[in-house]
C-alpha cells in the first residue's frame, strides 16, 4: 500500500482529460438512459462524482471499505448514533464534545434511546453490559481533558456483548490513529477540523468496513439530505492533501510550546494525551502514532485567566481546532456550555480550564504571545 500522503494525492486514479485535479460536478440532477434502467448518478443527494472522489480518498486514509461525507461533523455523529433503535442504550465517555453531549441528552431520548456516561471507559467490564447496550461511543483523546481510552480492549468487550464501537477520531485523524484497525465498527470525524484544516469549511465523515452499517450510513445521506456539497467536497479533497504536513508542523509546535509552559510559574497543570496516568500513556503510545496538537492547561492560583486572554495577539479566542491558525477557548462556557453543572464537575472541567489548539505559525511567535499573556495574568 502506498504511503499516507501519497494516498491523499493519488487515491483517485480516474481524472478527466489528464487534469491533475478532479473536476467539480455541481449538477443537481443527471440525465438517465431513455431505454430504461438507471445511470451511475441520478440526483445529487444520492450521489455525486466529486463527493465520491473525496469519499474514496478518505476511505483509503482510514483503510476503510466505505466513507460517507455529511454537511457537518455533528451530522456524521448523528448518523452513526442513528443506527440505534428505541430501547437501545449507548455507553459514552464523559467528558465528550458538547455537541455529542447535546445529542445524547436531548435527541436520543426523543427516539427512545438511553445513554450512560462513563468517567473512565478503561474500567468497563462485562458487568457493564446488559441486553440493552448496543453501542459504545468514545472520544479518545477526550475533549477537552485529553483522557485516553483503550480502543482495542473496549471494542473486543463491546463485540462480546453484541454492541458496536463508534470512535470519534477528530483530534488525531487517520494520520495518527486508525480506530477501524483497532476493532472499531464506525469512526467519525469533524472534517471541519484537521481534514479541511483552514477554518473555512464545515463537514463530517463516517467510515466503516461493515457492509450493513455502510448501507445505513448511505441511506442517511439519501433520506436526511445532510450531504456535503460538491464544492465543499472538492475543497476538502484538495485540503486533505496537506494533512500530514500540517499535522507534523502542528505537533512539533505543540511539543515546543509545552516545553516552554512546563517551566512557566504561571501554569499549574498541562493535560496531554497520556498525561493522566502511566496506563493511559501506554495506551496512547500503543494505539496512536502521535499525541496531536491539542492540549489543555490550568493557570496557577491567583492568576487572572481573563487578563491572560485579553493580552493574546497571535492566538485567537474561539471554539474549533485543527486549523492552520492557533486557537484557545474556555470549554466550560464554550464547547461544553450545554453541560449540566453536575456533569461539568464530574468531568473535571473547571471554569478556568483552557483548551489550546496549536496551528502552523512560527513557534517563536506563539511562545512569545503566550509568555506576554501569562505575564499579564
- The residues annotated as belonging to the active site are 45, 97, 168, 193
d(CA 275, CA 284): 10
Scored b (16 or more CB within 10 A) or e, 273-307 reads bbbbeeebbebbeebbebbbbbbbbbbeeebebee
Contact 134, 162 (CB under 8 A): yes
Locate all alpha helices (DSSP H) within 128-171, ordered by sequence.
151-160
Scored b (16 or more CB within 10 A) or e, 214-234 reads bebbbebbeeeebbbbbebbb
| Residues whose CB is less than 8 angstroms from the CB of residue 277 and which lie 6 or more positions away in sequence, other chains included | none
d(CA 76, CA 187): 9
CA angle 296, 301, 306 (to 5 degrees): 65
Residue 141 in grid coordinates: 483523546
Locate all alpha helices (DSSP H) within the chain, ordered by sequence.
4-10, 49-62, 73-81, 98-102, 108-110, 151-160, 173-176, 211-224, 230-239, 243-262, 278-287, 305-310, 341-346, 363-376
d(CA 190, CA 207): 12
- Of 367, 372, 345, whose CA–CA distance to 356 is shortest? 367
d(CA 258, CA 366): 11
CB-CB neighbours of 326 under 10 Å: 26
CA angle 335, 337, 339 (to 5 degrees): 115
Residue 300 in grid coordinates: 496557577
Identify the residue whose cell numbers are 440493552: 132
- Of 182, 172, 167, 144, whose CA–CA distance to 81 is shortest? 167
Amino acid at each position: 500500500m502506498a504511503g499516507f500522503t501519497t494516498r491523499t494525492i493519488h487515491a483517485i486514479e480516474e481524472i478527466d482529460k489528464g487534469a491533475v485535479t478532479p473536476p467539480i460536478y455541481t449538477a443537481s440532477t443527471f440525465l438517465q438512459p431513455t431505454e430504461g434502467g438507471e445511470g451511475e448518478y441520478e440526483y445529487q443527494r444520492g450521489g455525486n462524482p466529486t463527493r465520491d472522489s473525496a469519499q474514496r480518498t478518505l476511505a483509503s486514509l482510514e483503510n476503510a471499505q466505505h466513507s460517507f461525507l455529511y454537511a457537518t461533523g455533528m451530522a456524521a455523529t448523528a448518523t452513526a448514533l442513528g443506527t440505534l433503535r428505541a430501547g437501545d442504550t449507548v455507553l459514552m465517555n464523559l467528558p465528550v464534545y458538547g455537541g455529542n453531549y447535546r445529542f445524547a441528552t436531548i435527541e436520543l431520548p426523543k427516539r427512545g434511546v438511553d445513554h450512560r456516561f462513563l468517567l473512565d471507559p478503561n474500567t468497563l467490564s462485562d458487568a457493564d453490559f446488559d441486553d440493552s447496550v448496543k453501542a459504545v461511543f468514545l472520544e479518545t483523546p477526550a475533549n477537552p481533558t485529553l483522557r485516553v481510552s483503550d480502543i482495542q480492549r473496549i471494542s473486543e468487550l463491546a463485540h462480546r456483548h453484541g454492541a458496536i464501537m463508534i470512535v470519534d477520531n477528530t483530534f488525531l485523524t487517520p494520520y495518527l490513529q486508525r480506530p477501524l484497525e483497532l476493532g472499531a465498527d464506525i469512526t467519525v470525524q469533524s472534517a471541519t477540523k484537521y481534514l479541511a484544516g483552514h477554518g473555512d469549511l464545515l463537514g463530517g465523515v463516517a467510515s466503516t468496513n461493515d457492509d450493513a452499517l455502510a448501507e445505513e450510513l448511505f441511506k442517511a445521506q439519501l433520506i436526511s439530505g445532510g450531504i456535503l456539497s460538491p464544492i465543499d467536497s472538492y475543497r476538502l479533497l484538495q485540503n486533505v492533501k496537506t494533512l500530514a504536513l500540517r499535522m507534523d508542523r502542528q505537533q512539533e509546535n505543540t511539543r515546543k510550546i509545552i516545553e516552554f509552559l512546563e517551566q512557566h510559574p504561571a501554569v499549574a497543570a498541562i493535560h496531554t494525551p497520556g498525561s493522566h496516568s502511566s496506563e493511559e500513556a501506554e495506551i496512547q503510545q500503543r494505539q496512536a502514532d502521535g499525541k496531536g496538537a491539542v492540549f489543555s492547561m490550568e493557570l496557577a492560583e491567583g492568576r487572572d485567566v481573563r487578563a491572560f486572554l485579553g493580552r493574546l495577539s497571535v492566538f485567537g479566542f474561539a471554539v474549533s481546532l485543527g486549523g492552520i491558525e492557533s486557537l484557545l477557548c474556555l470549554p466550560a462556557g464554550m464547547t461544553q456550555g450545554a453541560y449540566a453543572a453536575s456533569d461539568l464537575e464530574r468531568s473535571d472541567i473547571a471554569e478556568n480550564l483552557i483548551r489550546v489548539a496549536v496551528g502552523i505559525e512560527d513557534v517563536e511567535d506563539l511562545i512569545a504571545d503566550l509568555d506576554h499573556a501569562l505575564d499579564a495574568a
